[in-house]
Homo-oligomer: A and B are copies of this chain.
Amino acid sequence: MTQPVIELLQSHRSIRKFTEQPIAESLLRDLISAGQSAATSSNLQGVSVIRVRNPETRKAMAELAGGQTYVQQAAEFLVFCADLHRSGWCCEQSGNTVADGMTEHFIIATVDVALFAQNVVVAAESEGLGICYIGGLRNDPQQVSDLLALPEHVYPVFGLCLGYPDQDPECKPRLPLEAVLMEEHYQPVSKALVAEYDETMRDYYQRRTGGKLDRVWSQEMLALLGKESRPHMRAFLEKKGFRMR
């Protein structure tokens, strides 16, 4: 490993096509161990990772995620769950009651999961693996929960495909750094900056699709925010004990 870590991080792109090469068991354990080493709020460690190998389960998840076939094909598919069940169980074992349903607890467990997963991702990419996060599991979190037998106070935040890349896509351009790094106070984005980034993204999509796709960032944001998104999430989370109080 001689590539500076910052360059490794800057070279991230999602991989959606994998070779058939398996991931060595010892490497997989190292990746999870790297994930565990990430910071965790008050030592909560509110993360459980479920490794899915059963082809039927993989197929069901690929479908509910909107037909993402790489969920089936990747060497490994991991489901990252926010887990307050384990820590709550510890409290109950000593005869205590947990103050459940707090929004704050939902936030710390969700953040724990993301910090952990990103360490797994960086570790994986440093070893030549490619990855793809699968937020599409939240299309039907109840089915995921049933497939994985998730108890109360556990919810699937996202999945992660891991494998050796069989494609070499370009990195997706990001907003100019000036748009996200601010000094002392919040600074609203400027029209000029969004227009500039829109053109960058138009070029990127044109290149990637051989001129077929004409799309800019503002349009993507409208597609994402302009309509209700996974409106079942609230009720699902409540059912799982995340009442957001």
Q: Which residues of A contact B (CB under 8 A)?
A: 1-6, 8-12, 14, 29-34, 36-39, 41-45, 47-54, 57, 81, 84-91, 93-94, 96-100, 102-105, 107-108, 110-111, 113-115, 117-119, 121-123, 126-127, 131, 133, 135, 138, 148-151, 154, 157-158, 171-172, 174-175, 177, 179-186, 188-189, 191, 194, 217-218, 220-231, 233-234, 237, 244-245
Contact = CB atoms under 8 A, between A and B. Distances in A.
Given A50-B186, A108-B135, 13 more contacts: A6-B34, A12-B38, A32-B181, A36-B177, A39-B121, A49-B182, A51-B183, A91-B221, A99-B225, A102-B230, A103-B237, A105-B225, A107-B138
Which one of A100, A151, A228 has the highest number of Cβ atoms from chain B below 10 Å of its Cβ?
A228
B218 A93 contact: yes
Contacts of A229: 99, 102, 104-105
The list of the 5 closest CB pairs from A to B, nearest first, reads A114-B114, A5-B126, A118-B118, A104-B230, A9-B34
A95 to B, nearest CB: 10
Given A36-B180, A105-B225, A123 B188 contact: no
A81 B183 CA distance: 13
22 contacts: A1-B5, A4-B126, A5-B127, A9-B37, A11-B37, A32-B181, A41-B135, A42-B220, A44-B224, A45-B174, A49-B182, A50-B184, A50-B186, A52-B184, A86-B189, A98-B225, A99-B225, A103-B233, A104-B233, A107-B233, A110-B110, A111-B113
Contact of A226 (B4, B81, B96): B96
Nearest to A10: B37
Q: How many copies does the complex hold?
A: 2
Nearest to A81: B186
A38 B11 CA distance: 9
A112 to B, nearest CB: 8
Which one of A47, A157, A189 has the highest number of Cβ atoms from chain B below 10 Å of its Cβ?
A189
Given A45-B174, A104-B229, A51 B181 contact: yes
A244 B242 CA distance: 11
